[in-house]
Each structure stands twice: as structure tokens, then as C-alpha cells.
Structure 1
């Protein structure tokens, strides 16, 4: 992001990105309990932001881990009740209330579901310095929320970390569970580069 400030704390329409994300879940019909996983070094700054912006949406802060895998593992070990758990990137602040609710409903019926959109671009794979075309109608770009039964998550995250775990679906899939897809949203963008923040501002205005 070309900034020292972690991207989840950057201002988006005069509010930190992370607050937009939490608000989306708090305003959904599902009304889930919100666990925020943050690096210990960032928690004091987050508390100061909550005071500055008078942010009062209830949430529990969980210590983050070395990798995303360990952060999620820390969070799910704090969940004791039978539940469905939606895991969402802090820097996807434009997720709609309807997508959140649809993910919970689909996961309740199917056991798990991840949001994803079909690729609108042509796609090529590079392997051994050679490229080959892939069928773009078979390619899905994975988003979050990724929603699972808590028992499935606990079983999956009981295994050791592996470098090929890029998201929660890959962790769950590795112990033999098929992953279900629900249609995501083009506007559910991930704030990764400076232009993403500009695009998010534009989408919020519209």
C-alpha cells in the first residue's frame, strides 16, 4: 500500500477500512458474534481508533498468529458453542449484507460455502517456463466470507500448518471435505494496492 499504516486502518470515506467491514456484519440479518483477530502490536492502536471514531459495535479482540492459519486457529478455539463461522478478510470492506446472510444460509444447508466469482478475463497458467490457456468459465476467483460449521473448522485446524494453505477452504479441503461455491460480488474487492482504495471510495459513492 506504500504506507506505514496497516491497510485495515487506512481511511475509507472518513472511516477506517476495518470499521466498514465490521459494520457490514453487524448490520446483517444474521447478526453474528464478531471476533476480530489482530496482531498484539496493533491492538492498542485499534482501541485508540475506536475511541477516536466513537466505534461501539460489540466485538471481541483475539490475538493474531504468525500466519493467517494460526490467526484463524486462535479464533476458533475461542468458540465453544455449536455454530456456523464466517471468516472474512478485514480488508474487504464492501461486502454486502445480502452476501453475508446468503453465505450463512448456504452453509447451514450444505455444511460449508465460499464466495467466489467467475473470471471475466482470459487466464493462462505458467508452469516450467511454459504458458497454457485455461478455460475461464472453469476458473473462479475466491473471495470471503468463507463459512463453515465450527466442528469442521476445528477438525481442519487441528492439523499442522502447510505453506499451500492460502485460505480456509484449502485447509478444510485438505482433510477431505468438498468445498461449495456461492456467487460472490464484483464489488467485494480486497484492498491490496493504492488503486483499490480509490476504487472502494468510488463504489461507496455510488
Structure 2
């Protein structure tokens, strides 16, 4: 069975209060995206890496690779206007029977253990997504009224989200919907039940400036 990793890097720096897209910001003297790619390259699964980037960012990325002497093999795929189209562009380039992990470029602290677990379990049961149980109390706001939810039943979804290529190809034949918040939501609407594997608290997403500071601290430790 072949393994692929689709790294989705379409984010901007808006919420980071910076003009530089967050996947290119420096984390421990290396762009965030390079940490993410290294994690997959160092996993036992050794997937072929497909990096989805907006066309206008590709030249900059290649310059960064030269500047940091970054030589990990990866194929660049053109990003789309939405994450849905970016992932679709990537999976359309894969034609052999395979297991595909889809991961946010700005989750650079992913462990090789979680990567490998995702590939192995998806190969057995068709799909698996990383998620952690909520440690906070949770309330739902609806019609200006709030209701408490059981945090034991609430999971915070992460990536990687790993699927058989067959499931992905079928699911991404659907028309785009604004209800698609991640790949699992696309696959679920196609009629598949989603399986969860325990994620990692360290597997944070770099969205706000404090996230970058936290990632620096976690890497030091």
C-alpha cells in the first residue's frame, strides 16, 4: 500500500497581524512549513509529500527552500480558492491505490507516532481523524440562549485526517458547500462514518501570535 501526505498551506497572515503567511513565519529559526514537512519525512510511513500552495506563493517558497537548504523531496500542487478545491487538486494527482493523510501546514508539532498511527488505522478501517477530548466546559449558543453540553462527548478535531484514496475520490465528487469545515465533513456527507484516534495536545495550530510563542516553548522542551 502506498502512502501520501497532502500538506495544505493556503492560509494568510491576517489573524497573525503580519503580512507574511503564517506557514512561512520562523519557528526556532526555520519556517513553520518546513517543520511540518520534516515531521512526515521522518515518520516510519515515509509518505510521498504533496504540498498544496497558492500559485502566487510558490516562487517565495522555492526561495525559502534555497535559503534554508531545504532538500526534503515534495511535489507542489496548485491551491484552490477554498480548502475543498486545494485538497481536490491534490488527490486528483494520485492514481494508485493508497492511503492519504491530509494535514494543516500550520500544525508543525505533529509527532511521527500520530502520523504512523493514522496511516495504519486508516489502512485497516478506511478512515481516521485525530481529535482530543475537550478539557473545558462547553456551552452551545442558539437563538440567544446557551445550553451546557457534556464535555465527555465533545472532541476538538485536529489533523492529520487520513483516508483511503477510494473514499476521498468518491467524496470529492460532491459540489462544494460552505458546511465543509474539514475533510472529515466532506467524507461524512458522502455517507461514511468517521473514526477518531486520540490526538495530541501539542499538535497545536498556528493561528494567533500566542500560538507561535507556545510552539517555540514546546520545541525548547
Coarse TM-score class (shorter-chain normalised): over 0.9
Render the CA deviation track for 1:35-79: whole Å, top value 9, x for unaligned.
000000000000000000000000000000000000000000000
Structure 2 match to 1:22: 37
1:47 aligns with 2:62: yes
Indicate which of 164, 168, 172 corresponds to 1:157.
Answer: 172
Q: What stretches of structure 2 of length at least 5 have no aligned partner?
A: 1-15
Note the aligned Cα RMSD (angstroms): 0.3
Indicate which of 113, 124, 139 corresponds to 2:154.
Answer: 139
Indicate which of 173, 187, 194 corresponds to 2:202.
Answer: 187
Indicate which of 51, 57, 62 corresponds to 2:72.
Answer: 57
SS of aligned partner of 1:34: strand
SS of aligned partner of 2:123: helix
In structure 2, C-alpha distance between the alignment counterparts of 1:119 and 1:138, rounded to whole Å? 8
Render the CA deviation track for 1:109-137: whole Å, top value 9, x for unaligned.
11000000000000000011111000000
In structure 2, C-alpha distance between the alignment counterparts of 1:183 and 1:109, rounded to whole Å? 16
Residue 175 of structure 1: CA displacement? 1.0
Indicate which of 17, 28, 53 corresponds to 1:13.
Answer: 28
1:93 aligns with 2:108: yes
Richer in strand (by share): 2
In structure 2, C-alpha distance between the alignment counterparts of 1:129 and 1:168, rounded to whole Å? 30
Indicate which of 110, 130, 134 corresponds to 2:145.
Answer: 130
Q: State the number of aligned residues.
A: 206
Residue 95 of structure 1: CA displacement? 0.1
Task: Give structure 1 regions of 4+ aligned residues with deviation exceeding 3 angstroms.
Answer: none
SS of aligned partner of 2:97: coil
Report the TM-score, using the length of structure 2 for normalisation: 0.93
